[in-house]
Amino acid sequence: MLPGYSLLLAAYVAGQLQIARALSSTRVCKNIPNDNGWPSEADWSQLNNATGGRLIATRPLAHVCHDPDYDSSACQDLRDNWLLPYPHVQDPTSVIAPYFQNQSCSPFTGKDTPCARGSYPVYSINASETAHVQAGIRFAHAKNIRLVIKNTGHDLLGKSTGQGSLSIWTHNLRSIKHIKNYHGDGSPYTGAAVRLGAGVLGDDAMKWAASIGARVMVASCPTVAVAGGYTAGGGHGLLTSLYGMAADSVLEWEVVLPTGQLVTATPHNGHADLYWALSGGGAGTFGVVVSLTTRIYPDEPMVGASFSFDTNSTASRGQDGFWDAVVAVQSTLGSLVDAGAVAAYAVASGYFSVYAVAMPGTDVGSVEAPFAPIISAVNQAGVQLNVSKTAHSGFLGLFNTYLLQAVRTTPAAQITTGRMIPRSLLEDKSKAQVVADAMRFAAEQGFTMSCAAVNGTRKSAVTGSHPNAVFPLWREALLHCIWTQTWDFSAPWAEMLARQDVLTNIVMPRIEAATPGGGAYLNEANFEQDHWQENFYGENYGRLKNIKDALDPTGVLYSRTAVGSEDWVQDGQGRLCRARASA
C-alpha cells in the first residue's frame, strides 16, 4: 500500500471516530438537574405515587448546621457524632467517607456557609417493599438518570452516593425470617437458614441469631448491613476461619434486575450466573438486592483472647525490637487461624495490640497450643507475652466483650488503603521482614494499621459451599490490612487531600512492592487503587464483566470501582457519561 494512501485512510478513520465521539457524547450522558431530559415535577410526583408516597426530596444531613435551617443543638449533636457511623446509617443520603461528602454541607463550617447538595442524591426512595425498588429502577432507566443504592453508607470508595442521582435507600427492608429446614432447589444443603432483608444490620442479625442459639456471618462493625455491600463484596468477620467468607454461606439472593424484574438467584436455577457474581463480585452493579438467604450455624462456646506490647516492652532495642516482635507475631499467626481463630490487631504510635482473637474452645485451657508458637517467637524477639483469655458460651458474648466498646467509639471517618497479604510471604523470614519494613514505613508516615488474620479456606467439607466470585486471594491470604488516618475536620480540606495523596502515591507503592502476589479487598480499599480490576477481582474480572454486560447492557447501575464502572466517566459538571472507547 502507498504510504500516502494509508495516511489518508488514517485521517479518514480518525475523522469518523471524532464524529462518532461527538455524537455519542451528546447522547450517552445521564441527565442531571437543569438538563432538558431531567424529569419534570409531574414525573417525580408520579414516582412518589408509585412508591406509596415514599419519595424523599433530599436534604444533606448537616442542613441543620446552616441557614436557614440552623438548629444549634441538633448541629452540635451531629458534630459530636459525625466521625461515627450511626448518624450516616440512619440518614437517606449521608455517607461515612468524608472525601465523598466533599464538604458540600459540612457540620464543621459556619452556619452562613451554604449547604449544597454536591454529590448527594437529589431524590431518595425510602423503600419498604420490592415494588418500591422496582419503581425506582424503572424510573431511572426510562428517564436516563443516575441511580445509586444506599444501605448504610459505610462504603469507603464512594459507591453509595452520586451527583444528580436518584437513590434507592434499602435501610428499611428489615425483615428477618427463620427457615428452620432449608431445602433449596437442587441445593445439597439442608438445614437452618435465615432470610434477611437488605437493610438488616449486622447487629440485628447477630442478636437475632443468638436468641435462637445460632450464629450468622457479620462484619466486625455492627452497623454494616449484612445483605448490602458486605456479603456481596465477600464479607469477613470474626468467624471467617470457621465458615469462610460471608458470601460462602449464601443460599439465595432475591434481586431486582436492572430491567425491573424480580428474580431469585441460586447456584442451580436459571440465575446461577447472578448468584455466582453477587456472592463476592461486589454490590451496586448487578441488581438491587432485596434479601439474601444464608446458612446459619449452631452457636457453640468460644474463647476470646487479647495481648499487646509496645516499644517499651523491647527495652533498649526500641523501634527495631518492636518491629522484630511484630514480625514474630505475623509469621506465627498461622497456628491460630488454622485452629479456627480470627485475630484482629492494630499498630499505632509504637503500640501493638491484638485486641480480639475469636476461637472455638470450651475453656481458656483448651486453646493454649495454638498460642505457643506465637509466645515463643515473640519471646525470642525479647518480649514476654501475657495473653489474657476469657471463655464465652457463644459468639455474641465474645463480640460484646472484645469489640463492642471499640466499634462504638472508634472514628470511621477516615482515609484508607488496604492490602491482602499472602501467607507464603509472612512465613518466609526474609520476605516477612520486607513486609514489616513497608508497614513500619506506613507507621512512620502517621498511618494506623489494622489487620485481620484469617484462614479463608472454605471449609467445604463442613459447609458444602458453592463456587462463587469471592476474590480467590482470600483463600491464600493470612492478612487483610488497612492503613487509615482519621479525617481531621479542623484541618484545611487541602491538607486532608494531601494526606490522601501521600497514602496513594507514597505509602501504597511501598506496601505493594513488599507484597507481590497480594491484592486488595474491594470493600475496604483505597478509592484511588490503580489496576483495581486486577487488584480487587483478580481472575474473576472477565467473567464478572460478561455477566454485568448481559444483565445491564444500558448501564442502569454504576458504582465507583464496581464491575463495569470503567465504561463510565463523570464529566466536568458531574454527569455520568459513557467512556469513549479506547480514548
Q: Does 382 bind ligand NAG (CB under 6 A)?
A: no
Residue 240 or 279: which CB sits closer to ligand NAG? 240
CB atoms inside a 10 Å sphere around CB 57? 9
Residue with cell 495481648: 307
Q: In the window 427-466, what residues touch ligand NAG (CB under 6 A)?
A: 455, 457
Q: Could you report how far apart the first and last alpha carbons of the chain are, in Å?
A: 27
Q: Of ligand FAD, ligand NAG, none, which one sits near residue 309, judging by CB under 5 to 8 A according to partner kind?
A: ligand NAG
What are phi and psi for residue 288, nearest 5 degrees? -105, 120
Q: Burial-class residue 339 by CB neighbours within 10 Å (0-12, 13-18, 19+).
A: middle
> How wide is the angle at C-alpha 378 spanned by C-alphas 372 and 379, nearest 5°?
85
Per-residue contact flags (x/-) with ligand FAD for residues 354 to 383, judged by CB under 6 A: ------------------------------
Give yes or no for a contact between 197 and 290, defined as CB atoms under 8 angstroms apart: yes
Cα separation, 20 vs 583, in Å, equals: 12
Name the residue among 403, 394, 98 with its Cα closest to residue 221. 403
For residue 580, what is its C-alpha cell? 469513549
Q: Of ligand NAG, ligand FAD, none, which one sits near residue 221, judging by CB under 5 to 8 A according to partner kind?
A: ligand FAD
Contacts of residue 409, Cβ cutoff 8 Å, sequence gap at least 6: 84
Residue 350 or 467: which CB sits closer to ligand NAG? 350
Residue 310 amino acid letter: D
Residue 154 or 466: which CB sits closer to ligand FAD? 154
DSSP state of 527: T
Q: How many residues bind ligand FAD (CB under 6 A)?
A: 34
Q: What is the per-residue burial (b if ≥16 Cβ within 10 Å, else e) of 221-251?
A: bbbbbbbbbbbbbbbbbbbbbbbbbbbbbbb
Give yes or no for a contact between 559 and 159, defined as CB atoms under 8 angstroms apart: yes
Q: Does 515 bind ligand NAG (CB under 6 A)?
A: no
Cα separation, 236 vs 383, in Å, equals: 30
Contact pick of 119, 128, 523, 526 for ligand FAD (by CB under 6 A): 523
Give yes or no for a contact between 387 and 332, defined as CB atoms under 8 angstroms apart: no
Residue with cell 520476605: 431
Q: In the window 228-257, what residues touch ligand FAD (CB under 6 A)?
A: 228-230, 233, 235-237
Q: Does 158 bind ligand FAD (CB under 6 A)?
A: no
Q: How many CA atoms lie within 13 A of 375 on its CB side?
A: 12
Contact pick of 32, 346, 383, 507 for ligand NAG (by CB under 6 A): 383
Least separation in angstroms between residue 455's CB and ligand NAG is 4
Contact pick of 389, 423, 480, 548 for ligand NAG (by CB under 6 A): 423
For residue 484, what is its C-alpha cell? 487509615
Per-residue contact flags (x/-) with ligand FAD for residues 380 to 419, judged by CB under 6 A: --------------------------------x-------
Contact pick of 58, 106, 128, 264 for ligand NAG (by CB under 6 A): 128
Q: Does 71 bind ligand NAG (CB under 6 A)?
A: no
Q: How many residues bind ligand NAG (CB under 6 A)?
A: 27
Least separation in angstroms between residue 226's CB and ligand FAD is 8
Q: Does 548 bind ligand FAD (CB under 6 A)?
A: no
Contact pick of 93, 101, 220, 485 for ligand FAD (by CB under 6 A): 220
Residues that bind ligand NAG (CB under 6 A): 49, 52-53, 56, 92, 100, 102, 119, 126, 128, 172, 309-313, 338, 350-351, 383-386, 423, 455, 457, 476
Residues that bind ligand FAD (CB under 6 A): 85, 96, 149-156, 159-160, 170, 198, 219-221, 224-225, 228-230, 233, 235-237, 283-284, 288-289, 412, 523-524, 559
